[in-house]
Structure 1
């Protein structure tokens, strides 16, 4: 199914040749469009292997990979806006755990998905790697239990590293 002009209304970044890359955290960059397949559950996955933010204490850059999985309901995040949003963390000073939770909360607010999880695989600094994971499922649905199970499944996965 192709999209008509009405369905693409409100997407201001897609196809824009004069893309501006904000280096300061800005959730206002996120844009959404209507899910054409609301009659079924399916998973959307994004991988951002070049995520960068700053250590809030030292100002030194932190590098890692961000993974986002979600089950959409009515709205979906537009991928170019997501790319620009993730890039906006470049000069943002926050701990890894905070970045992962901020990303999840911003996407949850934008889309109101049935389920969402965000995982960070951050490169070691000072000899330690950090792998924060946050999951949320719509309360009162099976997704709420799935979110809890996924959080504890991460513990099992990490024991085998």
Structure 2
């Protein structure tokens, strides 16, 4: 399977002039998961929720069409999709004629599904939902709900993931709460460019020390990892150190190249969050 070192990231790329599904670059999830001790069958559910704001094609008469698209890649797919390759692939549709928006949706769904499930014995499909311009007003701008950790005055000294910072009241009665932070930052493992995100952590179980959790979130500031891998690391660290009964970790990253990536990992089956974007996105 392809490795990040061979992806289009950090390389000069020609602007695609023709439809080309081979531009999609899958990266095996197992590569990142093995590094943090995630077994072949991960202990979580969830999906990577992508939004594309720069999607266009030509109708049969050659008139440009535009749309916003939401993509749902289940976390059980063997591969994630490298984001620059995704952008290049979407650009390859710009000068391609399609009979309808539904034809575009089906083409994208088939191509993404093939890349995400490549090398799998039991391939599945990727969710694709597209909004035409007369539906743009349906797009919500909202903020993640929960108690904001950033209000706390804490001293931060760790800028690489430090799970040892996490603590919880393991000998006290369990609680249920949702906590948020806008201070999540990590870096692309290939280019070193910063990735900015907001984080929501919902759990039931021993009460997590909020100041410790905030310092832990800040500790990703110099870490190099893909969005999906960072969220999975956070899920695994909180699970191990704080022993929640239930846990959901959800991040919304600011967009790059017209795409945002919003991974969600949860200990239990649950409905996916309603499509939205935050003010920073």
- Equivalences for residues 78-93 of structure 1 within 5 A: 78-93=209-224
Segment of structure 1 superposing worse, 84-93 or 23-32 = 23-32
How far 1:50 moved relative to its partner?
Answer: 2.1
Say which of 7, 12, 27 aligns to 2:163: 27
How far 1:51 moved relative to its partner?
Answer: 1.0
CA offset digits 1:25-44 (Å, max 9, x no partner): 11111122246434xxx521
The change in CA–CA distance for 1:34 and 1:91 in structure 2 (over 3 A counts) is same
Specify the alignment match of 2:138 in structure 1: none
Structure 1: distance between partners of 2:225 and 2:252: 15
Structure 1: distance between partners of 2:222 and 2:246: 29
CA offset digits 1:95-132 (Å, max 9, x no partner): 11111111111011112211000001000012110010
TM-score (norm 1): 0.70
Aligned residues: 125
The runs of 5 or more residues in structure 2 that have no matched partner are: 1-152
> Is residue 154–residue 215 contact of structure 2 (8 Å, CA) maintained in 1?
no
SS of the residue corresponding to residue 216 of structure 2 reads helix
Specify the alignment match of 2:201 in structure 1: 68
Specify the alignment match of 2:21 in structure 1: none
Say which of 128, 132, 140 aligns to 2:263: 132
Structure 1: distance between partners of 2:220 and 2:201: 15
* Structure with the larger helix share: 1
The runs of 5 or more residues in structure 1 that have no matched partner are: 1-16, 137-146
Select the structure of larger CA radius of gyration: 2
Structure 1: distance between partners of 2:237 and 2:154: 25
Say which of 272, 275, 279 aligns to 1:154: 272
| 1:56 counterpart = 2:56 | no
* RMSD, matched Cα: 2.2
